[in-house]
Amino acid sequence: MNPTLRTIGLFLALTALLLGVGYVLGLLYGVTYYSLVFFFILAMAINVFSYFYSSKIVLWSYRARIINETENPRLYDVVKKVAFNANLPMPRVAIVPLSVPNAFATGRNPKNAVICVTEGLLNTLNDDELEGVIGHEMGHIKDRDILIMTVAATVAGAFSFMARAYFWRGMFSRDRENSWLIYLFLALAAFAAVLIQLAISRQREFKADEQSAKITKKPLALASALRKIEYYVTKRPLTAGNPSTASLFIVNPFRGGGIIRLFSTHPPTEERIKRLEEIARKYSYL
């Protein structure tokens, strides 16, 4: 699907979710018209804010620090090389102070993109593996996934926050029945936002892996990097941060068993590695 149409579709879906919340609140309190008008204005404001500022929120939430070439020549040179091979503008580069290896890209378009890597990634991967990971993130930028994934993560986080707020309100409110109904509906809205993320994210990860193979000609290096990252995040899953941002990372840093795995924003790492190995055999990238 055309990136512009995907973006419009995402904003329409999130607007519909907010209007649904407004409609239910209006029914509960007998002010349906005013509630719908308020939530429509709120939806427009959130859409505009998300378009321009969602990436800044993500960078701030993970304390990502924008660097220049002199601060980390190794990382900067790899990003510059991959950007050149992908025929894309040089993105800004940031380092996240986390020991667990991982990476993500954010921004509203290729000209405003930021590639972020954790300190753990720089300490864990060799140069070829690092290039493969950067190639994956550049693939997201090339296919213009970064705005869609960042906005979806931001709005899903907002719904989760509202649901938690109404949960605690229901614990202490005199109007418990309405508060709990609103909490349940907001929880469903947050779940719907997660489903939207799933629809966006899983196949985009496979596509970004393929883009990395095309850009870097090193699919086995990316496969090796994914294997290492998976090992570390399995042993030390991320506890800080918002799980709604999981779709941004190259490997989901938040872990859970049972039904949680069914709603993971990423396909199984083993399947991604298998596909990369098939690409290597098919095109003789050995």
Residues recognised as catalytic = 137
Say if CB 47 and CB 15 are below 8 A apart.
Answer: yes
What are the beta bridge partners of residue 235?
none
Nearest one of 116, 102, 101 to 146, comparing CA atoms: 116
- Cβ-proximal residues to 221 (8 Å cutoff; 6+ apart), any chain: 128, 129, 131, 132
Say if CB 229 and CB 102 are below 8 A apart.
Answer: yes
Measure Cα distances from 27 to 20, 59, 260 in Å.
Answer: 11, 38, 32
Edge-first strand order for the sheet with 92-96 is 65-67, 92-96, 114-118, 103-106
